[in-house]
Amino acid sequence: MEYIVEGQDVSPEELSDESWQSPGLRAQEQRRAALRLATAATKPTTTPASLPSSKRVNTSPPQHRRRAPLPRLPADTIHIVGRPKSPVELTKLQPWHLYTALLQAAFLQDLPPASRDTVRIHPVNNTFTLSVADSARAQAYLRITSLTVSGNTFTVHLYAPPPDDALRGILYHAFDDFTDQAILEDLQASNPTLSVVGGRRMGKAPHILVTLMEPKLPRWIFYHGVQLRLLPFRNKVEACYNCRSTGHRTDVCPKPRQERCHRCGAAHPTPPEGSPPTCNPRCIVCNGNHSTYSSNCKHRYVQRPQRQKAPAPDTHPPPQQPVPPAAVVRSSQQAASGPSPAPPPKSVTTSPPPVPAVPKPTSQPMNSTWPRGAPGLPSEPQVVALQQENASLRQQVTAQSAQIAAQKTQIDSLQAKLQALEEKLESAITVKSSLPSTICSSSDMDVQTPEGCTGKRRRPNTPLESLHFSEEVQVSIKTALVDLEERLDSRFNSVHQLLTAQHEALNSLRTDFAAYPPATSFQSLQSTVDSLQTAMLESIRAKLPLHARTTTSSGAARTSQTPVEATSSAVKNG
């Protein structure tokens, strides 16, 4: 598409493209410098389009003017862009003279230095930008139509562009004799969920440029009851048909107006539309054999130059052969004086700057450009989604840390309970060792009578009867003790097996603790420990009944020997 604005008034909406939104934003990009056209003054017939490809002029992208980026204007102020409509070069004016002329034309008083309005002249596109903090003063500036600076009066157009973060899209072949105001009103009414801030026709093309304040450009939009595809807008390189150079447009060209052909740049009128061309085209942007902004031009879109990264230092130099500085300088001088200069070695970076014999590599369009524009940064919704996801992950990590701490506390409590059970088991073992002391031992039987063990008063026996009775009592006591020991051993063996199983379960729990076992595992372990503790307490309490049964069995054994005593008494009674 072409922007034909020469000789016509341009509305503020028509000029509100990205190159005029914010000088601070434009300062981040390298501006195009003026192209030196070697064949611009030649006749059109010298480079016909039908010549062989070997005689055609090779296309090349416009060169970048290396300059320091402009500082950003305050984001909380109103930005107003001024474009001169008369041939005047703003870079040759004193900025404070321009500021004084703006105050006089707007009938405003100067403010204190701390709150003054800021004026900045762009060094490339011949425009200036105002940064105003008060909306009333901004409205006064927007009413200015002409300025007088140092006795030179020229017309000027001031407008407020969309915000810096606004997005723009194109509705192709959607224009149908509507005014820009009608287009904007219909877009705003048809899309209530979208913040449409601009809508206008793109020059004389049948396309509509839509400006939105959205984090992401929508794919579809309603316009006059029809859902149309909204494609992203790409900035084109600014080209001037008056001076045949890039960097600014024709309406702000500081040079006097010349009647030149837009097709070839020669000093003759442009052929009217529909008539066959009488000259060969010449592109202002790439110097190719096609019209400016033609679809055949590969360099018509603004392309951000890629910054070349510094070469990484050699991290593996040969340690056995260090190169002295003198040898480095000598090698660089030899390389500079040779017939075919070679690139200096990597170690030249530590030596004085070498002779600039090797020219810098030219920019390669195929490697430094993108076929569909440079990829954009992640939009704001993606960043917000990532932040929300990070916050949820942090919450999950915090909850898991709390759960781990609770599980550690439960494990500590279980270990304490197991230790208490072990202590109780040891005490029970000591009680087992002291149980035979309650029964009459064999040494006691040598002195104590059977009546002392049974607690009954009996008449004294003869020495023979006492001897037989003591032997029988000793046999019965030994049998009862053996039985008691077997029962206790079986009970404690079962308890020991249970404790071993619990220790193995605890070790497996410690080993698999990283898997975060559920709370049911700990509840089952707690119930197992409680049941084990109950069983141990019951076994310990059952020790005394076992002893009582043992004493009862020994008493029964002694009772079973009463026939001997009866026989002895019968002999005595003879």
pLDDT of 236-251, one tens digit each? 888 888 888 888 888 8
Domain carrying residue 559: 411-573
Q: What is the mean pLDDT of residues 366-390?
A: 62
State the chain's maximal CA–CA distance in angstroms: 173
Is 240 within a domain? no
Min mean pLDDT across 12-16, 187-191, 409-413, 546-550 is at 546-550
Is 307 within a domain? no
Mean pLDDT of the chain: 71
Tell me which of 160, 195, 227 is where a domain ends. 160
Tell me which of 113, 143, 160 is where a domain ends. 160
Question: How crowded is residue 187: how many other Cβ atoms within 10 Å of its Cβ?
Answer: 23
Is 335 within a domain? no
Is 12 within a domain? no
Percent of the chain with pLDDT over 90: 15
pLDDT band for position 342 (50/70/90)? very low
Per-residue pLDDT, 467: 65
Is 42 within a domain? no
Is 451 within a domain? yes
pLDDT band for position 72 (50/70/90)? confident
Per-residue pLDDT, 38: 46
Question: How crowded is residue 563: how many other Cβ atoms within 10 Å of its Cβ?
Answer: 9
Contact 221, 227 (CB under 8 A): yes
pLDDT tens readout for residues 416-475: 888 888 888 887 777 655 555 444 444 444 444 444 444 445 555 555 666 677 778 888
Nearest to 141 by CA among 114, 101, 173, 174: 101
Per-residue pLDDT, 151: 86
Whole-angstrom CA distances from 527 to 171, 315, 405, 531 are 73, 63, 21, 6
What amino acid is encoded at 528 in this protein?
T
What amino acid is encoded at 24 in this protein?
G
pLDDT band for position 313 (50/70/90)? low
Please tell me which residue, 54 or 157, carries the higher pLDDT value: 157
Tell me which of 160, 193, 224 is where a domain ends. 160
pLDDT tens readout for residues 273-303: 778 888 888 898 888 888 888 888 888 888 7
- H helix or E strand, kind and range, residue 560: helix 543-560
Per-residue pLDDT, 461: 55
Q: Is 70 exceeded by the pLDDT of residue 8?
A: no
User: How many whole angstroms separate alpha carbon 57 and alpha carbon 264?
Assistant: 14
Is 80 within a domain? yes
Nearest to 255 by CA among 240, 269, 275, 238: 240
Q: Is 50 exceeded by the pLDDT of residue 326?
A: no
Q: Is 90 exceeded by the pLDDT of residue 497?
A: no
Q: How many distinct structural domains can be found in the chain? A: 2
Long-range interactions of 377-380: CB distance < 8 A, separation 24+: 379/215, 379/216, 380/215, 380/216
| CATH number for the domain that contains residue 119 | 3.30.70.330
- In terms of pTM, does the model score above 0.75? no
Percent of the chain with pLDDT over 70: 61
Under DSSP, the state recorded for 117 is: -
pLDDT band for position 335 (50/70/90)? very low
Is 62 within a domain? no
Per-residue pLDDT, 489: 85
Of the segments 18-22, 49-53, 206-210, 448-452, which one has the largest average pLDDT value?
Answer: 206-210
Please tell me which residue, 325 or 478, carries the higher pLDDT value: 478
